[in-house]
Structure 1
Amino acid sequence: MSDETDLIKLYSGRILALAADIPHLGRLDAPHATVTRRSPLCGSSVTVDVRMDDGKLADLGQDVKACALGQAAAAITAGAAVGADLNTIEKGRDQLKAMLKDGDAIPDAPFDGFEVLSPAASYKNRHASILLSIEALAEAMSTAHQKA
């Protein structure tokens, strides 16, 4: 199978559907923390605003300027994150990294939706964009926790 055919398969209908319907799009008024992450390789960027309540993510806003894979990852992250604590987000982030970089298992629930991005493991130049949203979210939640 050619590299071009593999790349076309990577951008599946499911990934494109996720990219077209990202939850929690837009910025929050008066967030507890804001973090912007950028991938120098491709130029994708994500800004995440968070509001916390009792150690859990109460509200999330995000501005996503990324490729379809980064957008799909942002959709999966946002769809699973509200109500989670920092440990859950960090575990999801670490499991996603391991899935992409080491071929490890799909992340546990609530981040098992990242399964759709498992074909991207073969495309190391796409990893940074895929990780942007969950990395920014973990950093923003950590910052908000430190301020509290």
Structure 2
Amino acid sequence: MLGLTIRLAAYPWDESLPLKGEARSQSCGSTIALGLALDENGIVERIGVRSQACAIGQAAAAIFADAAIGRSSQALHDAGEAVARWLAGEGETPDWPAFDTIARARDYPARHGAVLLPWRAAAQALSMARTPR
């Protein structure tokens, strides 16, 4: 899991990204800022991350970023909902590449907020986007 944290270097923060969101874990204080750029069809084409998070939060952000490019805003929303349901004890492990790497965090409720950070930040960023016509 710690090896994932260095993956965030591949997604440097970029002030020019038009959609920005932030999330903070109430349980551990970790924060993630996420910047996104969508193409004309609402597909993620660029991502930037600024993290002040624990290892779980950084690993979750890396897993998110590694698979977010090429996905629609609806797919990101749906994945975030699936992660939240799974953490609440409902449903199977979310269908997101490499998610199994942090799946053990489910056994530690104090880390649930850190797991959700990138999806919450993405939801906030995407709420700024206009729906494609």
Which residue is 2:19 aligned to?
33
Distance 2:97 2:126 in 1: 20
The 5-angstrom pairing of residues 29-108 of structure 1 reads: 29-54=15-40, 55-108=42-95
**How many positions carry a matched residue from both structures?**
132
Greater helix proportion: 1
- Name which one, 1 or 2, has greater alpha-carbon Rg: 1
Code of the aligned partner of 2:93: I
Distance 1:52 1:24 in 2: 18
**Which string of whole-angstrom CA distances, capped at 9 and with x for unpartnered residues, describes residues 62-96 of structure 1?**
10111111111000000000111111101111111
Q: Percent identity?
A: 30
**Which string of whole-angstrom CA distances, capped at 9 and with x for unpartnered residues, describes residues 30-72 of structure 1?**
2221111112321100011111112111111010111111111
Q: Does 1:129 align with 2:114?
A: yes
| Bigger relative contact order, structure 1 or 2 (CA pairs below 8 A, ≥6 apart) | 2
Gaps of 5+ in 2: none
Q: Which moved more, 1:93-102 or 1:125-134?
A: 93-102
Which residue is 1:118 aligned to?
103
**Root-mean-square deviation (Å):** 1.9
Q: Scaled by the length of structure 2, what TM-score is found?
A: 0.89
Gaps of 5+ in 1: 1-14
**How far off its partner does 1:103 sit?**
4.9
**How far off its partner does 1:138 sit?**
2.4
**Which string of whole-angstrom CA distances, capped at 9 and with x for unpartnered residues, describes residues 8-41 of structure 1?**
xxxxxxx111122225432224222111111232
Contact 1:23/1:79 (8 A) holds in 2: no
